[in-house]
Each structure stands twice: as C-alpha cells, then as structure tokens.
Structure 1
Amino acid sequence: MGFSAQLAEMRFGYGMSPVVAPPASPEAMLTALAAPDEMATRFPIDSFGQFSAWVVETRKLRKAFQKTKDQEKREAYRAARRAQNEVGMEWAMRAMLRCTHTQCGFRERLVAFWADHFTAKGKIGLLRTATAPYIEDAIRPNVTATFGDMLSAVVTHPLMLHFLDQNRSTGPNSKAVKRNDRLDGLNENLAREVMELHTLGVGGPYSQDDVRQLAELFTGLTFGFDGGFQFRRGFAEPGAEQIMGKSYGGDPARLGPVLEALHDLAVHPVTARHIASKLAVHFVSDTPDESLVAHVTERYVASGGDLMAVYGALLEHPAAWDTPRANVKPPVDFIASGWRALAVDPDHVAQLRRRDMRRTLVNPLRDMGQPWQDPNGPDGWPEQDEAWITPQGVAMRLRWAVSAPQVLCPDLPEPMGFVASTLGDFADEHVQFAARAAESQSDAIGMVLAAPAFQRR
C-alpha cells in the first residue's frame, strides 16, 4: 500500500497520539531520528557512571554496618537500597513518558529493539536496577551510529561483562593464573553470545574453536565500579588468537585487537543477514518478505553496518508498509501505546503514589509475562506472537485496559474521538460499535484499548 503516516506510528513507533502529529514520510522519520535526542533530556535516566557512584557509596554503608553492627548504619544502608528501588521504578515511568511524548517514536522502538538484542541485566542485589543506565550509555547514543560502534560499546560495558561473567575470565596461561591457580579460568559466555546472538547468529560460519579463541582474546576485559571498564593485561591469554581464519593479538596483550575482531564480526555479510532478518521480524512480520530481508542485508553490507542507512533500506521497501498489520504488541509495547493514546501527563505521573505505579506498570507487565527489563536469558524476549497471546496474557491486557486509564488519565477522552485519534483509518466497525455501546466512558476507553485492532502493529 505504500507509506502511511498512521501505520508508521503503529508499526515503527508506539502508536498514534492525540497531541503528536504522525510523520509525513519515511524521510521525515529518519530526519527526526538524526535530530537531537529531546526525550533523553526531558525525561532523564542516570548514566552508568552515576549508578556506579551509588553502588560504591552503598557498599561503603554496608561495610560500615557489617564492621560495627551499629543500627544507625544499618538503617542508612537499608535506606539507600530502598531509595534505589524507588529510582528504578521512576526510571521505568520516565521510559514510558518518553514513548508517550516523543516526536520520534521510531527512536524509542529502536532503543528497545537494540536493548533486547544486546540483553544485559544485573544478577545480584546492587546491580538489579542497572539495566536502564546500561541502555542509556551503550545503546541509546549508538542507535544512529554503526553496528560496530554499538557492538564495541556493549561488549566493553561493565554490565555486559558482569552479566556474562567476563570479569571472572582469565587466560589459562596468563600471568594472573601463574600467580594464583585458583582463579576461575577461561569463561566462554561472552564470546559465545557475541557470535551466536549478537553478530553471526545461530548456525553462523564459526566453530567451537573459534568461540574459544575469541574467549581467549576477550580475557583481560573487566571493570571496577570506582573506575568503569578496565583492560587487565595480566589476566589476558598471551599470544595471538586465530578466529575464523584471521590472527588477532599477540604480546603484549592490548585492547586494540579485541576491537578489531569486533569490527570484523560487525561487518561480516552473515552478520548483515542476521541483523536484517531480526529488524524485519521485529518491525514487520514474524515471517517477513524475503525481498525485504535481502534489501536490508544488501544496504548493510554496502554501508559497512551504518545503521541510518540500514533503517533507510527498511523504511523504503514496499513490504515494510504491508497490511494487514501482522505483529502482536508485546506487553511493554501494549502498555506504552496505551500511555501514548491517552497522552498521559508527566505532571500527573509525578504525583502518582508508588502503589499506583506498581499496579499500572510493574505488576501488569509481570502478569502479562514481560517483567520490566528482566528477560529470562541473554537471548531476550521472544518475537513470536504466540508467546504473548496466551489466556492469562489476554486476560491481563483486558484488566489493564479497563482499570489503568482512570489512574493514569483522570480526565478520560470522549470515546469516539478516542477511537479516531488512537486507531484512525484502522478502526473497524467492531471497535466503533463497542465505543458507542459501552455503559460508561471508562468502559468505552477500555474496550478500545482491549480491541484486537489495538493489539497489532
């Protein structure tokens, strides 16, 4: 059908808004993406450096209590932990407000896509709220860079090194192991996920020996909360590694060969195909048109993984604008698009009680099967529709649709106007009838948000 402004908001953003005009063209979408990131400024989330400073201070409070058993110090430590949990919830609400008020929904969707592609999360208490700062540092600034830039930022980020146990990996013949043979030894987690999930994909042209060689090249990558990313030569495996027929590294160990290997993986044609396929599946269909995948792959290879060029190829292909809308919104997207449709007021959100935040965002996402920034493993969230259209998931969507709007938007919109501003030309007769026939205004809004037409993008 060609470009549609309404479909652009639904398929490549978080849905239509009564207060934000949809983009006029694919070119306008790319121009907005290249513009300054206004939402990051308007609704700020801490950097990982700021988060690390909190971790350092909190650890000092814990050590002070453990040393003295002083109850005041114990309460100070507990207060710091409670405050961070509150901040974590505040970051989630700010992320929702970014989706609600952005002029460039495509940016917010891309941030979410890449954050899932490069899944990382904290595995112990003080790091459990670290995902948002990680995204703010490694993902968001690189959405319009090259894939290689983003890959390097992710692989050297403290949270990814923690998540995949890279900070515990040591070269079998390293100086550190010679001094202390009780160290953990080589850990292949990061190397395997870089090849299997982040670049070449499952079944790519690499062997187990390539994984091990890359793991040896990665030895030395670590971090400290008081100093961020570090490269420790004493933990690195000496000598060169052979990865997919090319030699990297040598003596002395350096960071440069690691970045070189990441660049080579990033521009590999098989990586191009893997990324193109994932973008097409995420934005268009679980079973995308082969010509769309081939077109995006070709642009990726030609541009060396320049992401703006890749997005341009995605948006210019006719298959990107196919209807009917095929993909079901995952829970986070469903709730975010509900916020956007209601044009939720930031001042109202700031006044919400923590209990209301939990029952309108945190708890519903958990019950729908997509707890906030907490996927089960490094492969992130599933894309397949059947993962989200389950009896419990559908029931929870209906419950959210009829209960959350009144909390988030006390002055509910007029039902038929809401249908028009939310679904536009995609509002079928069933949605319109439900909005007209509902017994109350809140029921009408709930029926629109729960309608099948609102569940797809």
Structure 2
Amino acid sequence: MSRARPAALASVRFGTGLVPGDAPRDGAALLASLAAPDAIRAAHPGLDLATARDMALSVGAARRAGREDAAAGQTMADAAQEAIYRAGVQTYRTALARYVGGPAPLRERLTWFWADHFTAVPKNPARALLLDDYLDAAIRTHLTGRFADLLTAAVTHPLMLLYLDQAVSVGPGSRVGQSRGRGLNENLAREVLELHTLGAGGGYGQADVRQLAELLTGLTYSDRRGARFRPGAAEPGAETVLGRSYGGDGRAALSDIHAVLADLSVHPATARHLAGKLAAHFVADPPDPDLAAAVAATWARTDGDLMAVYAALVQHPAAAAPELRKVKPPFDFQASALRALGVDAAAVAALDDRTLNRHFRRTQRRMGQDFMRAHGPDGWDEAPEAWINPQGLASRIQWAMAVPSRLRPDLPDPRRFVVDALGPLAGARLSWAASAAETRKEGVALVLAAPEFNRR
C-alpha cells in the first residue's frame, strides 16, 4: 500500500473528500483540526434564534392585521412567507458552503452524524427557521465536548421540543394539567431512551419511559417567550428512572432534567449504543466488533469525552480497512463532488436560489434524501441499499452528467480529475475509462458515478 492511500482513505472515510491542490489528511490531522476554532461557521453564519423567532411571529402579526384590513394583512403575510422561504434556502446554502469549504472536514461529518442521531424535523416552513440555531447552538457548539452537554443541548432545543410535541406535554398532576385538562406526551422521553442514549434493548421499560416523560414536563417553547421551564406545568413529586430518583425535594427544577440526562449519557448501554453507531456510520455496517468495543471502552473510561471517543474511532486499526463499505448519502455525494471539482465555499454562497433548488435540493430529494427531513426520529438509514437503488443511482448519474458543467464550464481533463477526486483510491479500470472518455463532460461524469467515488 502506498503512503498516500491511508491519508486519502481517511480524508474520504472521516472527512469530506479530496480537493485539488490540497494534500489528503490522515486521521491524526483530521482529529487535530477539531481543536481549532470553528472558522467556517463564523465565515458563513446561520440564522440566529432571536431573528428566527421574530420571523415566525410575523406570520401571526399578518393574521391579526388581516382582521382589520384584509388587503394589508395579505401583503404582510406574503412578505412574511417570502422571507421564510428565502431563509430556508439560505439554511441549505450555508450548510452546503460549510461542508464544501470547512477547514476541519471531520467537524462537518460529525455535525451531520449528530444532527441525524438527534433527528428533529421542522413541521412547517416557519419551524424550519430553527434549523440553523439547532445545528449551531445545539450540535456544532458541543460536538467536541462531553456527550452529556451535547445530549442536553439537543434534547432541550426548541426544534426538538416542537418536533416531538414536548412543548405541549404537561404533568397530569401539575397546576396547569389540573386547570386546563392537558396531559402527558411520551414522545421525547421514548426517543431519548431508545434512540439518543441507551438504545433498543438498553435495559429500560415502559415505566422508565413514563417516569422520564413526567420528569421532562415543564420544558416548553413559544415564539413569543422562547424556550423555558415552567414549574407549574411539571409533574409534582419525584420520578424514578432506571432505579434512580430525581426531584421531589420541593418545586420542580430544570436541574433535575439535566441530572437524568447526565446519568443517561454515561450509562454503559449508552456507551455501547453510540460506539456501535459511530463505527457503523463511519466505517462499516454492521460495525467491526473490536472497533465498537474499543470506542465503548473509551466512552466508559472518559465519561463520554467526545474527543477521546473520536480518537479511539479514527485511530483503531479497523478504521483503516481498505474496503469502501459505506455509501455517501446524497448531500455528501453532491458536496464532495463540488470539492473534487474545485468549487469552494464562496462559490457555493454565491449560487442563486433557483440553482440551489433545481440542481441540489430537488435532485437530492430524487436521490432519496430530503434535506433535514428524515422520515422518522431514527434518522436516515445506514444501509447502502437506501441510497444505491435504481432510482437513486439513476439520479446520481443524471446529476453527474448535467450539473458539473453548469458550475464549471471549464471542466478539468478527466485524466487529471480522477486523480484530484480519488487519488490512490481510484481503480485501474476507472483511470483507464476516464482517460478514454470522448469528452470532458463524460469523463468527469464517469468518475463521479463510479463506485470508488460514491463509497467511503
């Protein structure tokens, strides 16, 4: 094996793909990049929470204005909806620019791993305004710290509270529950245990779900008042989750919720569940048992120190297995293609709404992935067949033929492009096919549609 292959493999498996003129980074360099400030976030900021709330409130303001003056109300409503639509496109533009140009490729991959692990789907365009803050304040801010902090930030974020109906969950015995007849919703509690921490078969039962749901009552969100904890809506008394009691010493407190999440974050079942999921996502599904065990042991030893966990994952011998057994999801496929073509973050940021919608968001949906809208709280499927199926593969080939020349009229020579895009990961047959292509357009498409480029 050449010296270049391990670095190229790491850049594809744990990074965002190769870039012309940049040397591939090995695992140690990818890990080291996480210690630097999040420069790409600063260069391409997302919509802040305060602005998102104001924009959502403008819809209600237009509705109220319409009661007094229908024409004026409609004008306000149209303006509000247009602003919300454009903000949604900008969220996608920002995400794509960061992935393409981020100086810490592993940070981008981890952002999307954790965003999928903590899937929170906006229920309407106004709720999609919260996506930027969710990705930034909940995910990116905490992905190099302790899992307890990441878990708490994601579970208590407004987008999650709204997605899983926690914002309307009320303790049946609380003052609000007694006076308004509102009841308990177990959605968030169930997903915290089954998906976010312990995993299915993690040793919890329905009683734990019910008790955690009661403990989570009081968490709520409104555009007018923001995310907050309402003691009057929280179920009175102590709750017992996995044999440990929380609260009950007086007035319900947010600290009780933080305490149970901290305990769940270091539970042995959580370590096993998350270790297996990380190994399956980045290396192979099903995961290598030794790799998963090593990551779980590091999780347990460090109480969920994520930097130590990532190091255990990236530096394990199984992480250097030569077989490319994972398939890039559509977003990653398109973004890594842009990187290989030399399209940088500034060029992505300059793309107009029509181009983004027509050549990226819509084609991504045809490939099987609607941006930040997984089909359920368990996120996107890890199986290769979820992406490489007749429709998905045909859509990738069509995209590879049609879009690169629109973004780069001066397409690279395919003989050079196969090296830029894959380096030593390109097989001899692909290199020959690229050199034999009749046109640059066909040659570039051959490389982008090849198994070597679509796998990692």
- The question of a shared fold, defined as TM-score above 0.5 by the shorter chain, is answered with yes
Counterpart in the other structure of 1:243: 241
Counterpart in the other structure of 2:47: 46
* Residues 198 and 270 in structure 2, CA contact (< 8 A), matched pair in contact too: yes
For residues 166-245 of structure 1, what are the structure 2 equivalents within 5 Å? 166-181=166-181, 183=182, 185-245=183-243
Does the alignment pair 1:442 with 2:446?
no
* Residues 328 and 385 in structure 1, CA contact (< 8 A), matched pair in contact too: yes
* Residues 356 and 407 in structure 1, CA contact (< 8 A), matched pair in contact too: no
Given candidates 7, 21, 24, the residue that maps to 1:22 is: 24
- TM-score in terms of structure 1 length: 0.96
Distance in 2, matches of 1:257 and 1:347, equals: 45
What is the Cα deviation at residue 350 of structure 1? 4.6
SS at match of 2:220: strand
Distance in 1, matches of 2:35 and 2:60, equals: 40
Deviates more, 1:154-163 or 1:96-105: 96-105
Shift in alpha-carbon separation, 1:29–1:348, aligned structure 2, 3 A:
closer
Counterpart in the other structure of 2:133: 133
* Residues 170 and 234 in structure 2, CA contact (< 8 A), matched pair in contact too: yes
* Residues 65 and 72 in structure 2, CA contact (< 8 A), matched pair in contact too: no
Distance in 2, matches of 1:216 and 1:113, equals: 29
What is the Cα deviation at residue 347 of structure 1? 4.7
Q: Which amino acid aligns with 1:154?
A: A
Does the alignment pair 1:93 with 2:93?
yes
Q: Which amino acid aligns with 1:402?
A: M
For residues 294-309 of structure 1, what are the structure 2 equivalents within 5 Å? 294-309=293-308
SS at match of 1:230: strand
* Residues 279 and 287 in structure 2, CA contact (< 8 A), matched pair in contact too: yes
What is the Cα deviation at residue 104 of structure 1? 1.5
Counterpart in the other structure of 2:72: 72
What is the Cα deviation at residue 336 of structure 1? 1.2
Q: Work out the percentage of aligned pairs sharing the same amino acid.
A: 47
Distance in 2, matches of 1:125 and 1:17, equals: 34
Distance in 2, matches of 1:429 and 1:454, equals: 14
Distance in 2, matches of 1:358 and 1:270, equals: 41
Distance in 1, matches of 2:131 and 2:282, equals: 23
Distance in 2, matches of 1:57 and 1:131, equals: 18
For residues 269-308 of structure 1, what are the structure 2 equivalents within 5 Å? 269-308=268-307
SS at match of 2:337: helix
Counterpart in the other structure of 1:321: 320
Per-residue CA distance 1:76-133 (angstroms, 9 max, x = gap)? 2212212221221122122112121222211000000000000002113411343233
Distance in 2, matches of 1:155 and 1:94, equals: 23
Counterpart in the other structure of 1:12: 14
Q: Which amino acid aligns with 1:18?
A: P
What is the Cα deviation at residue 360 of structure 1? 1.4
SS at match of 1:142: coil
What is the Cα deviation at residue 329 of structure 1? 1.1
Q: Which amino acid aligns with 1:20?
A: D
Distance in 1, matches of 2:21 and 2:72, equals: 49
Distance in 1, matches of 2:247 and 2:271, equals: 25
Distance in 1, matches of 2:352 and 2:40, equals: 23
Distance in 1, matches of 2:293 and 2:177, equals: 47
Per-residue CA distance 1:311-349 (angstroms, 9 max, x = gap)? 011111100010111111111111111111112144544
Counterpart in the other structure of 1:59: 60
* Residues 85 and 125 in structure 2, CA contact (< 8 A), matched pair in contact too: no
* Residues 48 and 137 in structure 1, CA contact (< 8 A), matched pair in contact too: no
Q: Which amino acid aligns with 1:116?
A: D
Does the alignment pair 1:121 with 2:91?
no
Aligned length in residues:
453
Deviates more, 1:225-234 or 1:394-403: 225-234
* Residues 48 and 136 in structure 1, CA contact (< 8 A), matched pair in contact too: no
Distance in 2, matches of 1:230 and 1:347, equals: 37
- Give the CA RMSD over aligned residues: 1.6
Distance in 2, matches of 1:267 and 1:240, equals: 22
Counterpart in the other structure of 1:83: 83
* Residues 367 and 396 in structure 1, CA contact (< 8 A), matched pair in contact too: yes
What is the Cα deviation at residue 389 of structure 1? 1.1
Distance in 2, matches of 1:98 and 1:177, equals: 44
- TM-score in terms of structure 2 length: 0.96
SS at match of 1:34: coil
Deviates more, 1:244-253 or 1:13-22: 13-22
Shift in alpha-carbon separation, 1:109–1:350, aligned structure 2, 3 A:
closer
Distance in 1, matches of 2:352 and 2:282, equals: 34
Q: Which amino acid aligns with 1:61?
A: A
Query: Gaps (5+ residues) in structure 2?
Result: none
Q: Which amino acid aligns with 1:204?
A: G
Q: Which amino acid aligns with 2:247?
A: G
Counterpart in the other structure of 1:163: 163
What is the Cα deviation at residue 229 of structure 1? 1.4
* Residues 96 and 339 in structure 1, CA contact (< 8 A), matched pair in contact too: no
Deviates more, 1:31-40 or 1:433-442: 433-442
Shift in alpha-carbon separation, 1:90–1:20, aligned structure 2, 3 A:
farther
SS at match of 1:397: helix
Distance in 1, matches of 2:387 and 2:320, equals: 23
Q: Which amino acid aligns with 2:412?
A: P
Deviates more, 1:153-162 or 1:92-101: 92-101
SS at match of 2:126: helix
Deviates more, 1:2-11 or 1:289-298: 2-11
Distance in 1, matches of 2:355 and 2:422, equals: 27
